[in-house]
Structure 1
Amino acid sequence: MPLWNVYHTPGVFTAEQKRRLAARITESYEAIGLPRFYVMTLFHETRPEDFFVGGEPASVAVRVVIDHIARHNPDQDSRRRTARWVEEILRLDIADIPGVHWEFHVDETSEDLWMINGLVPPPGGSEAERLWARNNATSPY
């Protein structure tokens, strides 16, 4: 359900840093009750000559685009809490990189446009979703 696309210039992340960040992202969602397999993290290395910030090539940059499907923030306060939560997840691996420009945004997509393995996921917080989380796999419900 959460899809994190991490666009970055070369050398920003080692393979171990990518693994660690993807694990932290997944664990953050698992902590709020989502099945681990709902979470996908994709890293897209982008050459500086193809990564522009303010119309100029960026030598050290990270742009994270997050799609949240089925879970929506109902008001500005909850959206701000989500933004702070995302910032905390990312800060550990990004903020201290010398000269880095980094940013993110979160899109919220309708659950009506989402399936996994040909199944409509169970309602959030339902016993079926808890079963999926326990089994870390889909199953008919």
Structure 2
Amino acid sequence: MPLWSIYHSPGVYTAEDKQNFANDVTGIYTGIGLPRFYVVVGFHEVDPESLFIGGESADAAVRIVIDHIARHSAAPEDRRRIGDTISRVVAPYTTDRGLHTEFHVDETPQDLWMINGTWPPPGGSDGEKLWAEKNATVPY
């Protein structure tokens, strides 16, 4: 499961922006075969008095924290490709709007992850493909 926590200055995103941003993020992962419901995106508005960059109050900033659980990458070239993909997808909502933008990706151990009380099927397995097809946790 990718979990995106998007911390942003007030008024940066409309409800439509958030929906489009979440859909674009989801497309990254469905494009590699993950079920749609694996993708969780949370928007967290942070007042400038509570968000600082270099000790200065930030009134036009976005900080994205991404947890990858369903897939991990060890090869440097794969990690670079992932970073480039994320940068490309977030740009219309961040840097293209002149917002100070930063993101990072953590990789959480897969054996500490459950969905609806169920251990997810192995990546790329028939079980995962079934979950993607049904867009739900179903017996596999």
Do the two structures share a fold, i.e. TM-score over 0.5?
yes
Quote the Cα distance in structure 1 between the aligned partners of 2:93 and 2:59: 17
- Deviation string 1:62-107 (CA, Å, 9 cap, x unpaired) is 0000000031111211111110011011001112223x21110000
- Mark the runs of 5 or more structure 2 residues left unpaired by the alignment: none
The TM-score normalised by the length of structure 1 is 0.97
Show structure 1 runs of 4+ deviating over 3 A.
none
CA-based RMSD of the aligned residues comes to 0.8
Deviation of the 1:112 alpha carbon: 0.4
Q: Which residue of 1 aligns with 2:102?
A: 103
Find the counterpart in structure 1 of residue 129 from structure 2.
130
Unmatched 5+ residue regions in structure 1?
Answer: none
- The equivalent residue for 2:73 is 73
Deviation of the 1:11 alpha carbon: 1.2
Amino acid at match of 2:2: P
Contact in 1 for aligned 2:2/2:70 (Cα 8 Å):
no
Report sequence identity in percent.
Answer: 56
Q: 1:39 matched to which residue of 2? A: 39
SS at match of 2:104: strand
Partner of 1:115: 114
Q: Work out the CA distance in 2 between the residues paired with 1:5 and 1:85.
A: 17
Contact 1:69 1:108 in 2 (8 A): yes
Distance 2:70 2:2 in 1: 9
Aligned length: 140
CA distances 1:9-56 after superposition (whole Å, capped 9, x unpaired): 001111100000001111221111000000000000000010000011
